[in-house]
Structure 1
């Protein structure tokens, strides 16, 4: 369990962000969501140094990731009674959430965004998250009218039993963003076995 601000947050439960029930009928081998390659998990140190000045806090309202055609509203997420991050309603396929007790995207620290990879009907908002490449752009619209622009540093997949809480949720000295969904291997009995995590940092605003 990792503390962000004044609140402790446990690793996201993998089953909460995707069920893959639809894969059983569609054929898991041909319809499984893309997974990141090992190369995308090795950030370029030069790219990481290009950081924009932090923005004042402002709640996010929408996330866009053009290369994977994501354009989704954001809702606030709290913690469950077990200490895990809650998730958006599974029925809302094009809806993501952000951890509203933590850092807002664009201010100094680690902001957390999460969304479903699929639901019982098929692919959801972050189905293609594992296909992102280093350097891809993530845009987050904010309530104050500004847009925080992030650059992807790395895309990794972790088994649930080895989820690195400190690395994903730990405090940052610059404005950073994590985008999380289900991933890893899939079991008919237990669902997805891990999470895809995108690591990004602020490179601009408008």
Structure 2
């Protein structure tokens, strides 16, 4: 099975990745995660200025094992994410703060299409793997270590934040005619009553491999 309803995936990334419970505890005020500025957003319906240039040839399918984002000090293993009994995308265990997941019924990072990686912004103890995702900038590098021994190198085209009720399913999850990557976590405003109110999404495309 290589497809799932966009709304189902979006619903999980909006809800299950967004706890914010550590912000509710007693003690000193806690800062919320950094959010992308307007300067890091894409333009029009594409994924960012120059997004169609510099693309590398697609790689053969291979499951990913690890993701590295040097610009925000991420170096984390990847686990496969399937579907819940309700038909939604599952998420990594929240207790492991340095773990991300990829949608294993979809495109593998590096092959033609849109690969999806998701991870928590925080857990009950504090910041988690993608806490600083909103601070990433266009042109930054993302590396995905694959099981066949290759490393897929992606360049960030845009970093955007969306309200939960305005999440652009087609833009984020839609098919692509080249190797692309989406990295998703929670973001936007934070309320003690409802938690995080949106999602940060990184758009990237394959620019090399080794």
Contact 1:36 1:157 in 2 (8 A): yes
Contact 1:15 1:191 in 2 (8 A): no
Gap change, CA 1:202 and 1:122, over 3 Å in 2: same
- Other-structure match for 1:191: 195
1: CA distance, partners of 2:152 / 2:190: 34
- Other-structure match for 2:35: 35
Would you say 1:53 and 2:50 are equivalent positions? no
Would you say 1:117 and 2:114 are equivalent positions? no
Contact 1:48 1:153 in 2 (8 A): no
- Other-structure match for 1:202: 206
Would you say 1:154 and 2:158 are equivalent positions? yes
2: CA distance, partners of 1:21 / 1:48: 40
Structure 2: 5+ residue runs without aligned partners?
A: none
- Other-structure match for 1:136: 140
Structure 1: 5+ residue runs without aligned partners?
A: none
2: CA distance, partners of 1:58 / 1:196: 26
Contact 1:63 1:73 in 2 (8 A): yes
Contact 2:120 2:130 in 1 (8 A): yes
Q: TM-score under structure 1 normalisation? A: 0.93
Kindly report structure 1 stretches of 4+ aligned residues shifted beyond 6 Å. none
User: In the TM superposition, what whole-angstrom CA distance separates every residue of 1:27-85 from its partner, at most 9, and x where no partner exists?
Assistant: 56x51000001110135533531100000000000000001000000000012233332
User: In the TM superposition, what whole-angstrom CA distance separates every residue of 1:142-201 from its partner, at most 9, and x where no partner exists?
Assistant: 000000000000000111111110000000000000000011111111111111000000
Q: 3-state SS of the aligned residue for 1:156? A: strand
1: CA distance, partners of 2:69 / 2:192: 30
Would you say 1:8 and 2:5 are equivalent positions? yes
- Other-structure match for 2:106: 102
1: CA distance, partners of 2:39 / 2:85: 37
- Other-structure match for 1:17: 17
- How many matched pairs? 202
Contact 2:68 2:143 in 1 (8 A): yes
User: In the TM superposition, what whole-angstrom CA distance separates every residue of 1:120-143 from its partner, at most 9, and x where no partner exists?
Assistant: 100000000000000000000000
Query: Which deviates the most, 75-84 or 109-118?
Result: 75-84
